[in-house]
Structure 1
Protein backbone atom coordinates (compact mmCIF):
# COMPACT_ATOMS: atom_id res chain seq x y z
CA UNK A 1 0.00 0.00 0.00
CA UNK A 2 2.76 2.45 0.84
CA UNK A 3 4.40 1.96 -2.53
CA UNK A 4 1.15 2.77 -4.37
CA UNK A 5 0.57 6.07 -2.57
CA UNK A 6 4.21 7.13 -3.13
CA UNK A 7 3.84 6.49 -6.87
CA UNK A 8 0.67 8.62 -7.00
CA UNK A 9 2.47 11.51 -5.30
CA UNK A 10 5.33 11.28 -7.75
CA UNK A 11 2.90 11.31 -10.66
CA UNK A 12 1.13 14.40 -9.30
CA UNK A 13 4.47 16.17 -8.88
CA UNK A 14 5.54 15.30 -12.40
CA UNK A 15 2.20 16.52 -13.79
CA UNK A 16 2.60 19.84 -11.95
CA UNK A 17 6.10 20.32 -13.33
CA UNK A 18 4.93 19.48 -16.87
CA UNK A 19 2.14 22.04 -16.54
CA UNK A 20 4.54 24.72 -15.28
CA UNK A 21 6.82 24.10 -18.25
CA UNK A 22 4.10 23.98 -20.92
CA UNK A 23 1.66 26.64 -19.64
CA UNK A 24 3.69 29.70 -20.76
CA UNK A 25 4.04 28.24 -24.25
CA UNK A 26 0.31 27.54 -24.45
CA UNK A 27 -0.52 31.06 -23.26
CA UNK A 28 1.75 32.56 -25.93
CA UNK A 29 0.09 30.40 -28.61
CA UNK A 30 -3.40 31.49 -27.46
CA UNK A 31 -2.39 35.18 -27.58
CA UNK A 32 -0.79 34.73 -31.02
CA UNK A 33 -3.90 33.06 -32.47
CA UNK A 34 -6.12 35.77 -30.97
CA UNK A 35 -3.92 38.53 -32.39
CA UNK A 36 -3.86 36.91 -35.83
CA UNK A 37 -7.65 36.57 -35.83
CA UNK A 38 -8.03 40.24 -34.85
CA UNK A 39 -5.67 41.30 -37.65
CA UNK A 40 -7.57 39.24 -40.23
CA UNK A 41 -10.88 40.70 -39.03
CA UNK A 42 -9.62 44.27 -39.38
CA UNK A 43 -8.06 43.58 -42.79
CA UNK A 44 -11.31 42.02 -44.02
CA UNK A 45 -13.29 45.03 -42.77
CA UNK A 46 -10.89 47.39 -44.55
CA UNK A 47 -10.95 45.51 -47.88
CA UNK A 48 -14.75 45.18 -47.85
CA UNK A 49 -15.13 48.91 -47.17
CA UNK A 50 -12.62 49.76 -49.91
CA UNK A 51 -14.55 47.59 -52.38
CA UNK A 52 -17.80 49.35 -51.45
CA UNK A 53 -16.13 52.75 -51.92
CA UNK A 54 -14.75 51.78 -55.33
CA UNK A 55 -18.19 50.57 -56.42
CA UNK A 56 -19.75 53.85 -55.25
CA UNK A 57 -17.15 55.96 -57.06
CA UNK A 58 -17.20 53.88 -60.24
CA UNK A 59 -20.98 54.05 -60.51
CA UNK A 60 -20.99 57.85 -60.95
CA UNK A 61 -17.58 58.75 -62.33
CA UNK A 62 -18.44 58.93 -66.05
CA UNK A 63 -19.75 62.20 -67.45
CA UNK A 64 -22.83 61.41 -69.50
CA UNK A 65 -22.20 59.27 -72.58
CA UNK A 66 -18.88 60.82 -73.60
CA UNK A 67 -16.90 58.29 -71.58
CA UNK A 68 -14.73 60.76 -69.67
CA UNK A 69 -14.02 60.08 -66.02
CA UNK A 70 -14.53 63.05 -63.75
CA UNK A 71 -13.39 62.82 -60.12
CA UNK A 72 -15.76 65.34 -58.58
CA UNK A 73 -14.56 66.58 -55.18
CA UNK A 74 -17.91 65.93 -53.47
CA UNK A 75 -18.09 62.37 -54.83
CA UNK A 76 -14.49 61.70 -53.75
CA UNK A 77 -15.33 62.93 -50.24
CA UNK A 78 -18.46 60.75 -50.17
CA UNK A 79 -16.32 57.78 -51.19
CA UNK A 80 -13.84 58.43 -48.39
CA UNK A 81 -16.70 58.71 -45.90
CA UNK A 82 -18.28 55.49 -47.20
CA UNK A 83 -15.02 53.61 -46.82
CA UNK A 84 -14.24 54.85 -43.31
CA UNK A 85 -17.70 55.28 -41.75
CA UNK A 86 -19.89 52.97 -43.82
CA UNK A 87 -22.11 55.84 -45.01
CA UNK A 88 -21.63 58.75 -47.42
CA UNK A 89 -22.48 61.38 -44.81
CA UNK A 90 -19.52 60.43 -42.63
CA UNK A 91 -21.58 60.12 -39.45
CA UNK A 92 -21.07 57.71 -36.60
CA UNK A 93 -17.96 55.87 -35.52
CA UNK A 94 -15.31 54.71 -37.98
CA UNK A 95 -15.43 51.03 -38.95
CA UNK A 96 -11.90 50.64 -37.56
CA UNK A 97 -10.40 52.43 -34.55
CA UNK A 98 -8.39 55.58 -35.31
CA UNK A 99 -9.30 55.50 -39.03
CA UNK A 100 -10.05 58.71 -40.94
CA UNK A 101 -11.14 59.69 -44.43
CA UNK A 102 -7.66 61.16 -45.02
CA UNK A 103 -6.40 57.56 -45.21
CA UNK A 104 -8.41 56.97 -48.40
CA UNK A 105 -7.26 58.07 -51.86
CA UNK A 106 -9.27 58.01 -55.07
CA UNK A 107 -7.61 58.16 -58.48
CA UNK A 108 -8.10 57.26 -62.10
CA UNK A 109 -5.17 55.19 -63.39
CA UNK A 110 -6.42 55.29 -66.98
CA UNK A 111 -9.36 56.50 -69.07
CA UNK A 112 -11.77 53.76 -68.00
CA UNK A 113 -10.96 52.73 -64.43
CA UNK A 114 -11.28 54.05 -60.87
CA UNK A 115 -8.79 53.14 -58.13
CA UNK A 116 -9.62 53.47 -54.43
CA UNK A 117 -6.79 52.86 -51.95
CA UNK A 118 -7.06 52.75 -48.18
CA UNK A 119 -4.33 52.65 -45.56
CA UNK A 120 -4.79 51.66 -41.94
CA UNK A 121 -2.27 51.60 -39.12
CA UNK A 122 -2.99 48.30 -37.37
CA UNK A 123 -2.40 48.44 -33.63
CA UNK A 124 -2.42 44.99 -32.05
CA UNK A 125 -4.37 44.05 -28.96
CA UNK A 126 -1.13 43.52 -27.07
CA UNK A 127 0.03 47.02 -28.02
CA UNK A 128 3.70 47.12 -27.18
CA UNK A 129 6.05 44.56 -25.76
CA UNK A 130 7.88 46.10 -22.80
CA UNK A 131 11.63 46.34 -23.10
CA UNK A 132 13.02 44.00 -20.49
CA UNK A 133 16.52 44.61 -21.79
CA UNK A 134 16.48 48.36 -21.03
CA UNK A 135 15.81 49.76 -24.51
CA UNK A 136 12.72 51.16 -26.19
CA UNK A 137 9.55 49.05 -26.06
CA UNK A 138 8.81 47.06 -29.22
CA UNK A 139 5.77 48.25 -31.10
CA UNK A 140 3.94 45.61 -33.10
CA UNK A 141 1.84 47.99 -35.20
CA UNK A 142 2.13 47.91 -38.97
CA UNK A 143 0.53 49.50 -42.03
CA UNK A 144 -2.28 47.63 -43.82
CA UNK A 145 -3.18 48.62 -47.35
CA UNK A 146 -6.06 47.74 -49.62
CA UNK A 147 -6.45 48.83 -53.24
CA UNK A 148 -9.45 48.15 -55.46
CA UNK A 149 -9.65 49.05 -59.14
CA UNK A 150 -12.96 48.98 -61.02
CA UNK A 151 -14.14 49.96 -64.46
CA UNK A 152 -16.12 53.18 -64.39
CA UNK A 153 -19.76 52.74 -65.28
Structure 2
Protein backbone atom coordinates (compact mmCIF):
# COMPACT_ATOMS: atom_id res chain seq x y z
CA UNK A 1 0.00 0.00 0.00
CA UNK A 2 2.73 2.44 1.01
CA UNK A 3 4.65 1.67 -2.13
CA UNK A 4 1.63 2.32 -4.31
CA UNK A 5 0.87 5.63 -2.55
CA UNK A 6 4.48 6.79 -3.09
CA UNK A 7 4.22 5.87 -6.74
CA UNK A 8 1.03 7.91 -7.16
CA UNK A 9 2.57 10.94 -5.39
CA UNK A 10 5.61 10.67 -7.66
CA UNK A 11 3.37 10.65 -10.72
CA UNK A 12 1.46 13.70 -9.48
CA UNK A 13 4.71 15.61 -8.92
CA UNK A 14 5.86 14.67 -12.39
CA UNK A 15 2.60 15.90 -13.91
CA UNK A 16 2.83 19.19 -12.03
CA UNK A 17 6.37 19.78 -13.31
CA UNK A 18 5.25 19.24 -16.92
CA UNK A 19 2.09 21.28 -16.61
CA UNK A 20 3.28 24.41 -18.52
CA UNK A 21 5.61 22.70 -20.96
CA UNK A 22 3.08 22.67 -23.83
CA UNK A 23 2.62 26.42 -23.53
CA UNK A 24 6.36 27.06 -23.63
CA UNK A 25 6.82 24.73 -26.60
CA UNK A 26 3.96 26.42 -28.45
CA UNK A 27 5.39 29.89 -27.75
CA UNK A 28 8.78 28.90 -29.18
CA UNK A 29 7.41 27.15 -32.25
CA UNK A 30 4.73 29.81 -32.93
CA UNK A 31 7.37 32.56 -32.86
CA UNK A 32 9.44 30.78 -35.48
CA UNK A 33 6.33 30.04 -37.54
CA UNK A 34 5.21 33.68 -37.51
CA UNK A 35 8.68 34.96 -38.44
CA UNK A 36 8.71 32.55 -41.38
CA UNK A 37 5.18 33.53 -42.41
CA UNK A 38 5.87 37.28 -42.26
CA UNK A 39 9.15 36.76 -44.12
CA UNK A 40 7.31 35.03 -46.94
CA UNK A 41 4.77 37.85 -47.08
CA UNK A 42 7.52 40.50 -47.01
CA UNK A 43 9.50 39.01 -49.88
CA UNK A 44 6.29 38.46 -51.86
CA UNK A 45 5.54 42.18 -51.56
CA UNK A 46 9.12 42.96 -52.66
CA UNK A 47 8.73 40.75 -55.74
CA UNK A 48 5.39 42.38 -56.53
CA UNK A 49 7.00 45.82 -56.25
CA UNK A 50 9.80 44.68 -58.59
CA UNK A 51 7.21 43.64 -61.19
CA UNK A 52 5.41 46.97 -60.71
CA UNK A 53 8.66 48.89 -61.28
CA UNK A 54 9.29 46.91 -64.46
CA UNK A 55 5.83 47.80 -65.75
CA UNK A 56 6.25 51.44 -64.72
CA UNK A 57 9.55 51.72 -66.63
CA UNK A 58 7.84 50.11 -69.62
CA UNK A 59 5.04 52.69 -69.46
CA UNK A 60 7.59 55.50 -69.32
CA UNK A 61 9.57 54.16 -72.28
CA UNK A 62 6.39 53.73 -74.30
CA UNK A 63 5.43 57.32 -73.57
CA UNK A 64 8.89 58.43 -74.70
CA UNK A 65 8.85 56.66 -78.06
CA UNK A 66 5.46 57.90 -79.17
CA UNK A 67 5.61 60.00 -82.31
CA UNK A 68 5.69 63.72 -81.66
CA UNK A 69 6.05 66.35 -84.37
CA UNK A 70 9.25 68.43 -84.51
CA UNK A 71 10.57 70.56 -82.88
CA UNK A 72 10.80 68.40 -79.80
CA UNK A 73 10.97 69.83 -76.33
CA UNK A 74 13.25 67.38 -74.49
CA UNK A 75 12.42 68.66 -71.01
CA UNK A 76 8.66 68.37 -71.67
CA UNK A 77 9.20 64.85 -73.02
CA UNK A 78 11.23 63.90 -69.93
CA UNK A 79 8.51 65.31 -67.69
CA UNK A 80 5.87 63.28 -69.56
CA UNK A 81 7.95 60.11 -69.16
CA UNK A 82 8.47 60.73 -65.44
CA UNK A 83 4.80 61.53 -64.95
CA UNK A 84 3.74 58.28 -66.66
CA UNK A 85 6.10 56.33 -64.41
CA UNK A 86 4.94 58.05 -61.23
CA UNK A 87 1.24 57.66 -62.06
CA UNK A 88 1.67 53.94 -62.68
CA UNK A 89 3.78 53.47 -59.55
CA UNK A 90 1.32 55.38 -57.35
CA UNK A 91 -1.52 53.14 -58.53
CA UNK A 92 0.17 49.77 -58.06
CA UNK A 93 3.28 50.07 -55.87
CA UNK A 94 2.88 48.78 -52.30
CA UNK A 95 4.53 51.45 -50.18
CA UNK A 96 3.03 52.06 -46.75
CA UNK A 97 5.49 54.85 -45.98
CA UNK A 98 3.83 57.45 -48.24
CA UNK A 99 4.67 58.25 -51.84
CA UNK A 100 7.41 56.21 -53.45
CA UNK A 101 10.79 57.92 -53.75
CA UNK A 102 12.10 56.75 -57.11
CA UNK A 103 15.14 57.78 -59.09
CA UNK A 104 14.31 57.93 -62.79
CA UNK A 105 17.04 58.00 -65.44
CA UNK A 106 16.28 58.64 -69.11
CA UNK A 107 19.00 57.95 -71.69
CA UNK A 108 19.00 58.67 -75.40
CA UNK A 109 22.06 56.97 -76.96
CA UNK A 110 21.92 59.12 -80.12
CA UNK A 111 21.78 62.50 -78.43
CA UNK A 112 18.87 64.58 -77.26
CA UNK A 113 16.21 63.68 -79.81
CA UNK A 114 14.73 60.29 -80.51
CA UNK A 115 14.25 59.62 -84.22
CA UNK A 116 12.71 56.57 -85.84
CA UNK A 117 14.96 53.58 -85.15
CA UNK A 118 16.68 55.19 -82.12
CA UNK A 119 16.56 53.59 -78.70
CA UNK A 120 15.27 55.10 -75.50
CA UNK A 121 16.46 53.65 -72.19
CA UNK A 122 14.43 54.29 -69.04
CA UNK A 123 15.75 53.14 -65.64
CA UNK A 124 13.78 53.30 -62.41
CA UNK A 125 15.55 52.77 -59.08
CA UNK A 126 13.52 52.28 -55.92
CA UNK A 127 14.84 51.70 -52.39
CA UNK A 128 12.39 49.13 -51.01
CA UNK A 129 12.07 49.45 -47.27
CA UNK A 130 10.83 46.37 -45.48
CA UNK A 131 7.34 46.84 -44.06
CA UNK A 132 6.60 44.03 -41.62
CA UNK A 133 9.93 43.30 -39.96
CA UNK A 134 12.11 46.39 -40.52
CA UNK A 135 14.11 46.06 -37.33
CA UNK A 136 14.84 42.36 -37.91
CA UNK A 137 15.79 42.88 -41.55
CA UNK A 138 17.58 46.10 -40.59
CA UNK A 139 20.39 44.00 -39.21
CA UNK A 140 20.79 42.53 -42.70
CA UNK A 141 20.85 45.92 -44.44
CA UNK A 142 17.23 47.05 -44.08
CA UNK A 143 16.85 48.39 -47.61
CA UNK A 144 16.61 46.37 -50.77
CA UNK A 145 17.49 48.30 -53.94
CA UNK A 146 15.01 47.42 -56.66
CA UNK A 147 15.76 48.52 -60.21
CA UNK A 148 14.05 48.14 -63.58
CA UNK A 149 15.44 49.09 -66.99
CA UNK A 150 13.46 49.18 -70.24
CA UNK A 151 14.88 49.81 -73.70
CA UNK A 152 12.46 50.60 -76.54
CA UNK A 153 13.09 51.59 -80.11
CA UNK A 154 11.16 54.44 -81.67
CA UNK A 155 9.31 53.49 -84.82
The alignment's TM-score, normalised by the length of structure 1, stands at: 0.67
Alpha-carbon distance between aligned partners in 2 of 1:63 and 1:123, rounded to the nearest angstrom: 42
Alpha-carbon distance between aligned partners in 2 of 1:52 and 1:77, rounded to the nearest angstrom: 13
1:98 CA drift (Å): 3.3
Q: 1:146 aligns with which of 114, 131, 148?
A: 148
1:128 CA drift (Å): 3.3
- RMSD, aligned α-carbons: 3.4
Deviations 1:43-102 (A, max 9, x none): 1111111111111111236859xxxxx67210111000100123xxxxxx93444335x7
Which runs of structure 2 are paired with 1:3-152 in the superposition (5 Å)?
A: 15-60=22-67, 72-86=74-88, 94-95=90-91, 96=93, 97-100=98-101, 103-110=103-110, 112-126=118-132, 128-129=134-135, 138=139, 140-152=142-154
* Greater Cα radius of gyration, structure 1 or 2: 2
Q: Which runs of 5+ in 1 are unaligned?
A: 65-69, 87-92, 131-136
Which has the larger share of helix? 2
